[in-house]
Every structure is written in C-alpha cells, then in structure tokens.
Amino acid sequence: MIVVKNKALIIVLVLLSAGISGYEVYQRYFTEEEPRFQWPDKLDIPCQPTSDSFDCDFYLQANSTPVKTLLHPLNDEVWVAELDGKISSWDGSLLYEVGNISQIISRCHFEQGLLGFEFTHDFATSNQILLSYTEDADCDGPSNLSGVMVASVEIVEGKIDLNTVVELRRIAKENRNHNGGNLHSLNDGTYLWSIGDGGGSSDPFNNGQNIHSPLGTIQYFSYQNNTISPVLQRFGNDSDYVLHHGLRNPWKFDTDNQGRLWIADVGQYCYEEINLVAIQEASNFGWSEREGMHDYDESDDCTSPPTEPANQNLTDPIIEYPHIGGNCSITGGFWMDWGPESMKESYVYGDFCTGSIWQITATNIGWESNFITSVGTQITGFGQGINDELLIFSWIGAIYHIYEV
C-alpha cells in the first residue's frame, strides 16, 4: 500500500482521477487566495485616532503603498521605499526620488513588488544597499514564475544605479502571495530576511514544517562584496540559510536591544500572532500544524480556546488575536526604544483591516497586549521618521505621524 502524505499531491490525484484536466486542476487547487478571505476595498480613510491620548498629522504622500523607512546612516534624511519600486529621500522639507526599480519587479498581485531594503553594514565605504523584491514575470503566465529575490545595488552620486544590480539569492515560490520579504541588518555584516510559505491556502506543500525548504522561514546570511553566504553550518547545503521556520507570512519583524526577535506572522483564517525568541535561537513556530496557540483547523470559528502543542519542539507565540470585530491581518511594528513616551519599552503592532493598534509589555508573569487606539486607516506598516516620529503607512499611500497629546 502506498501512503501519500503530501496534501497537494492527494488533491491533484483525486481531481485527475475524476477526469479533470491538468489546467483545471491548476485553477482549482493552486489558487492564490484563501477561500474564506476577501481583499477589502482600498479606502481613502485618514488617520483619526479614537483615543483622546493620541492624534495624527499627515507626514508624506507616497506614490503607492509605503513599505519601509530607514534613517540614512550618513545624512540627516530618511529613505522611503514603496511597493511599486520607488525609493525616495526625505530631509524634513524636500522629498526627492533616489531610485526606481519598477522595471525589475513583478506587481501582478497586491502582495508583490519591492518588499524591503537595507543599508549595508559598511555603507560608508561600499555605498551599497540590499533590496528584497518579487522578480519581474509575465502576469498572464504561471504564478510560480516570480520568485523572491535579494540583490545588492550601488548608490552612485546619491542615486540607485540599476546597472549595478547583483542578484544574490532567489527563492522559488508556488504562488504570488505570502512573500514575506523584510530585510533587517544586525549591524555586524549579517542580515535577516523573511520568506512566506509559498502562498496559496493552508500551506498545500507543507513548506512550513520542512526545515530544508526556504519557504516559511527567517533566512540568516552574511554579506560582503556582492556575495552572501549562510551564517549557520548545520547541514552543509542550502538549508543552512534557515534560522527559523514554521512561519506563514512573516512580512514584518524587528529586533530589540536585548538580542530578541519579534516576528508578526499573518494567520490563515482565525489567529494572528506575535512570536518572540532570541535572535539566534533556531525555532519552529508551528505553521501549518499550528495557527496561533491552536492546532490548525480549517473549520475553526475563531472562538476556540488555546491548546497545547502535541509537538513539544514547536514554539507558540507570546500573543495572538482572533479574526473577530473586523480584524483580519497583523501588521508588525517595532520594539520601541524611541518615539512616544508611553510606547517605550514595548512592542507596537496593528491590524490591516481595522486600523487597531496595540502594544505588548512585560509583566511579572510574561507578556500582555493592550489596545492603544484605532486609527481608521488600513495599516500596511509602521515607520521611523527623521526625528524619531512613529509613522503609520496606509494602503492608499498616505504616511501619518501618530503622537501623544
């Protein structure tokens, strides 16, 4: 008797045995969207905190969805990356474009584009940044043609020189969603890079629990002179890039001054989660055996009580919240050792659909999450302004400064 354990293969075999064509199989099974999830309309809702303790000011208008801001390591300015491939510089009074990589990226799906960037640790001498993006592909072709790429590029006379792009590592994917893509420098020549589980619904290829797959992971590499290499030496092959696995779509994460890694991982149908581990403490966060603090169950109505993982090698999140009251997708933020005074020494995060914002703080018995305010706008990210302002990115492209009153 042959036992087939791969969920994708089982479904494909059943459909093919029923006389359904290969193309129809692809259309029915390798769908990029979750059956119970529907993208909301993109709404032009300004930032309007419901709490009397906070207010918002308009900060900048991006051309497309803002992705990330970074303080320039040498100049008194902040660089702003956008999903459509544009990177601009803001010095507090003038916003000007420093580069546009739209010609080398794919934007076939809401979640595709320029996903992240980072100044190299030796930027003062190398004049290089690292880019994370979905590579250019035919939007009418198979969805697996567009992988996630990390590349280096030189800054020449203050502008990105596309002629100097060097592709460093490509991660192949089955679908266009769940890309992850955040890049983060540890300021010692090593970097973290988040990759989603390959997309589709319910991790059809079991990538999350395959430590030898780059999908559903936090990759850990060193970079020097247009070359990257894995920091870890556990397997002697490509799997050495994997530091953490068992993730679904960790598109936002941060580190703190205590050597900890905060990962906001987007849930499937019910539970959004925040994971916390020491940066180099290789961990399996459970997807797709677990969703939040629960055994994964497609039929869950998002009200079931937490359960203990059967596999004691899995690391549960420190905080979860359900898809109730309009919440739908976590947007990770920062460990705050800057910004509004009431947020310092806490991790701040939000929800894409409701615009709710929470902060996680330490207690005598662990961690707790407290609601701060709702801002109304669809939150796609948080950023740091030129004067340590806490910024909120909206899906429509507006960037707001949220502050205490």
The ranges assigned to domains in the chain are 45-404
pLDDT tens digits along 157-199: 999 999 999 999 999 998 999 999 999 999 999 999 999 999 9
Whether 8 has a pLDDT exceeding 50, the answer reads no
185 upstream amide cis, omega within 30 of 0: no
Q: Which residue has the tokens 């707001």?
A: 400
pLDDT on residue 146: 82
Q: What is the pTM of this model?
A: 0.92
Residue 31 is predicted with a pLDDT of 60
Question: What pLDDT sits at residue 13?
Answer: 46
Per-residue pLDDT tens over the stretch 135-152: 999 898 886 778 999 999
Please check whether residue 132 is in contact with residue 117, taking contact to mean a CB–CB distance below 8 angstroms: yes
**144 within 8 A of 116, measured Cβ to Cβ:** no
CA–CA distance, 255 with 246 (Å, rounded to integer):
19
Q: What is the pLDDT, as a whole number, of residue 314?
A: 98
- 45-404 carries CATH number 2.120.10.30: yes
**What b-and-e string marks burial along 367-387, b requiring 16 or more CB atoms within 10 Å of the CB?**
eebeebbbbbbbbbbbbbbbe
Q: Which two tokens stand for residue 294?
A: 């629960």
Kindly report, residue by residue over 27-83, the tens digit of the pLDDT: 434 467 677 888 889 999 999 999 999 999 999 999 999 999 999 999 999 999 999
Q: Which of 35-49, 192-206, 244-258, 374-388 has the lowest mean pLDDT?
A: 35-49
Whether the CB-CB separation of 333 and 251 falls below 8 Å is answered with no
pLDDT of residue 263: 99
Token pair of 311 as six digits: 């596999």
Residue 190 neighbours by CB distance under 10 Å: 17
Strand ranges in 101-236 using DSSP code E only, listed in sequence order: 114-119, 128-134, 148-156, 159-171, 180-185, 190-195, 217-224, 227-230
The alpha carbon of 42 is separated from its chain's Cα centroid by a whole number of angstroms, namely 19
